[in-house]
Amino acid sequence: MELGSVLWDGQCHADAPVRIPLAMLNRHGLVAGATGTGKTKTLQLIAEQLSANGVPVFLADVKGDVSGISAPGQDSPKVRERAGQVGQTWEAAGFPCEFYALGGIGTGIPLRATVTSFGPVLLSKVLQLNQTQEQSLGLIFHYADSKGLELYDLKDLKAVTGFLVSDAGKPELKGIGGLSSATAGVILRSVTAFEQQGASDFFGEPEFDVTELLRLAPDGRGLVSVLELPAVQDKPQLFSTFLMWLLAELFNGLPEVGDVDRPKLVFFFDEAHLLFSGASKAFLESITQTVRLIRSKGVGVFFVTQTPKDVPADVLGQLGNRVQHALRAFTPDDAKALKATVRTFPKSPYDLESTLTGLGTGEAVITVLSESGAPTPVAATRLRAPQSLMGPVPGEDLDRLVKSSLLYGRYAEPVDRESAFEKLSAEERGREAASVQAALPEGKPEGKKEDKSLAEQVVGSGIFRSLARSVGTQLGREITRSLFGTRRR
């Protein structure tokens, strides 16, 4: 894959190309740099060539400026000048794309996950639970798994948690061990608050099947799957965790292939700092594991972020290909980040501190893995120009592409199958009918209604006396949980 040509002494040398071997793309990468230095165009450039080489690509489009990859680029003197300098034969070209939108918010095929598949660790990250609460959520999942209470949507999770903190659920709660009613109550409140922020659109069925990402277009080019995120920009925890879920699903679903001559998929993880900030130990360990192991399943992951400092050392150490765009050194913090970045590069004939601050837009310091897997010498590089449109395609074009997709019909409408919520409510209705008769002579104490706990509001005011027993007799389909506690297929 052609990245660009070497910059030395202020000159671009078209006869000294900088490339990445296709086979090394499953050794992961980092694209870093300050705002406006060319990170997004670099990932567009890499994605185009992957597609042209028959490799499917996944891109997260956080700012909405990546959809242009589906349309031919605009010819201009600037593009021609760059192409000439780097020895590129530039030809406008669009690439085969599929557009997705989280929960259908924004323009794209709706992408949802079931709560059970998302698992307790990822969900804790989104709910910003602490370690104790995270472990407790794990116990609630385990309980639901073993009782055959399917957690498809947030309603299901609320119903199970609500049941456990209700009077009727108390014996069950005791049986779980290690889960306090207080913590379960906190979890219930945060799931409820999360739902009130509109999160129910993202969870439920039909669940997105990640193997859709591995397809080729009829002409043999790799399909570029673009997740449009501008409409959920205000939910960074949610979308970054969803990206991780996609990776975990790929990891769970794909067979081992070892090292291949070209990857099965390259996954670009934009705004990666959001994933790592505030992450729990369990979460970070799972990311590190996923990144380490997914390589042998033929998936390459590229993180895109401002500085390598945003990425924990254990993850950074596994990113074999590095494209570092310009960094600024305005503030003492900038200067510190710059020095730290320089230290992450191998020794080189460049004075990296001044090179990194002096790079122009669409230029970067690059080191990749050679065919033999050894890091190449550091090269300041002027990058090629993308051949597709730099910027968004018009909204109506995007909308048309989405609606005409074969996948749209499959994912457009949410489905609400019978699951934990329905099972628990049916049980409750049965009990209520029975208890009305039993309780009739005594009546209820006054003021009870106002004092309803959240748990009761959620699950209802019914008496669950026999619920625990009847639920307990159901044979649960045991779910094996994998990394992050996501469901193993």
Contact set with Mg ion (CB under 5 A): 40
Omega of the bond leading into 206 within 30 degrees of 0 (cis): yes
Q: In angstroms, what is the minimal distance from the CB of 363 to ligand ATP?
A: 8
480 touches, from Mg ion, ligand ATP, none (C-beta below 5 to 8 Å by class): none
Question: Bridge-partner residues for 59, per DSSP?
Answer: 226, 268
Run of H or E including 115 = helix 115-127
Residue 66 or 140: which CB sits closer to Mg ion? 66
Residues 6+ apart with CB under 8 A from 140: 120, 157, 160, 161, 164, 179, 184, 187
Assign 460 to helix, strand or coil: coil
**CA 22 from centroid of its chain's CA atoms:** 24
State how far the Cα of 175 lies from the Cα of 423, in Å rounded to an integer.
Answer: 20
What is each CA distance from 81 to 5, 14, 303, in whole angstroms? 13, 12, 29
Residues of this chain, 47-76, that bind ligand ATP according to CB under 6 A? 63
Question: Minimum distance between the CB of residue 386 and ligand ATP, rounded to whole angstroms?
Answer: 6
Q: Is 82 in the site for ligand ATP (CB under 6 A)?
A: yes
Q: Which of residues 430-469 bind ligand ATP (CB under 6 A)?
A: none
Long-range contacts of 246-250 (CB under 8 A, 24+ apart): 246/58, 246/208, 246/210, 246/213, 247/290, 247/294, 247/299, 247/301, 248/119, 248/122, 248/286, 248/290, 248/482, 248/483, 248/484, 248/486, 249/117, 249/210, 249/486, 250/210, 250/213, 250/294, 250/297, 250/299
- Alpha helices in 197-322, H assignment, sequence order: 236-253, 273-276, 281-294, 313-316
33 binds, among Mg ion, ligand ATP, none (CB under 5 to 8 A by kind): ligand ATP
Shortest spacing between CB 143 and ligand ATP, in angstroms:
43
**Closest by CA position to 153, among listed 225, 99, 103:** 103
According to the binding rule CB under 6 A, does residue 119 interact with ligand ATP?
A: no
| One residue of 222, 300, 308, 362 binding ligand ATP per CB under 6 A | 362
Tokens representing 152?
């498809």
Query: Residue 262 binds what, of ligand ATP, Mg ion, none (CB under 5 to 8 Å, by partner type)?
Result: none
Is 39 or 322 the residue whose CB approaches ligand ATP more closely? 39
By beta-carbon proximity to Mg ion, the closer residue of 361 and 470 is 361
* Nearest distance, CB of residue 41 and ligand ATP, angstroms: 3
Q: What's the closest the beta carbon of residue 62 comes to Mg ion, in angstroms?
A: 7
CA–CA separation, 304 and 46 (whole Å):
13
* Sign of CA pseudo-dihedral 369, 370, 373, 375: negative
Number of other CB atoms surrounding residue 227 within 10 Å:
27
Contact status, residue 344 vs residue 316, Cβ threshold 8 Å: yes
Which letter, b or e, does each residue of 101-125 get, where b requires 16 or more Cβ atoms within 10 Å of its Cβ?
A: bbbbbbbbbbbbbbbbbbbbbbbbb
In this chain, which of 121, 369, 385, 393 binds ligand ATP, going by CB under 6 A? Answer: 385
Report which secondary-structure segment, H or E, holds 381.
Answer: strand 379-383
Give the binding-site size for ligand ATP (rule: CB under 6 A). Answer: 16
Minimum Å distance from CB 400 to ligand ATP?
A: 25
| Nearer to ligand ATP (CB atom), residue 36 or residue 409 | 36
Q: Which is nearer to ligand ATP, 37 or 482 (CB)?
A: 37
For residue 35, state whether it binds ligand ATP (rule: CB under 6 A).
yes
Closer Cβ to ligand ATP, 38 or 106, answer by number = 38
Which does residue 368 bind out of ligand ATP, Mg ion, none, counting CB within 5 to 8 angstroms by kind? none
Q: Which is nearer to ligand ATP, 42 or 419 (CB)?
A: 42
**Binding partner of residue 41 among ligand ATP, Mg ion, none, CB cut-off 5 to 8 Å per kind:** ligand ATP
The site partner of 238 among Mg ion, ligand ATP, none (C-beta below 5 to 8 Å per kind) is none
> What minimum distance in Å lies between the beta carbon of 435 and ligand ATP?
59
Nearest approach, Cβ of residue 228 and ligand ATP (Å): 15
What is residue 399's three-state secondary structure?
helix
* Binding of ligand ATP by 282 (CB under 6 A): no
Least separation in angstroms between residue 277's CB and ligand ATP is 17
The H or E element containing residue 420 is: helix 420-439
- Residues whose CB falls within 8 Å of the CB of residue 452, separated by 6 or more in sequence, listed in order: 461
CA distance 336 to 329: 8
Q: Is 40 in the site for ligand ATP (CB under 6 A)?
A: yes
Taking the complex as a whole, the smallest distance from the CB of residue 44 to Mg ion amounts, in Å, to 9
Select 45 or 402, whichever has its Cβ closest to ligand ATP.
45
Q: Please say which residue, 157 or 385, places its beta carbon nearer to ligand ATP.
A: 385
Of positions 5, 26, 37, 183, contacts ligand ATP by CB under 6 A = 37
CB of 63 to ligand ATP, least distance (A): 6
Out of Mg ion, ligand ATP, none, what residue 383 binds, judged by CB under 5 to 8 A for its kind, is ligand ATP
Binding site for ligand ATP (CB under 6 A): 33, 35-41, 45, 63, 82, 361-362, 383, 385, 390
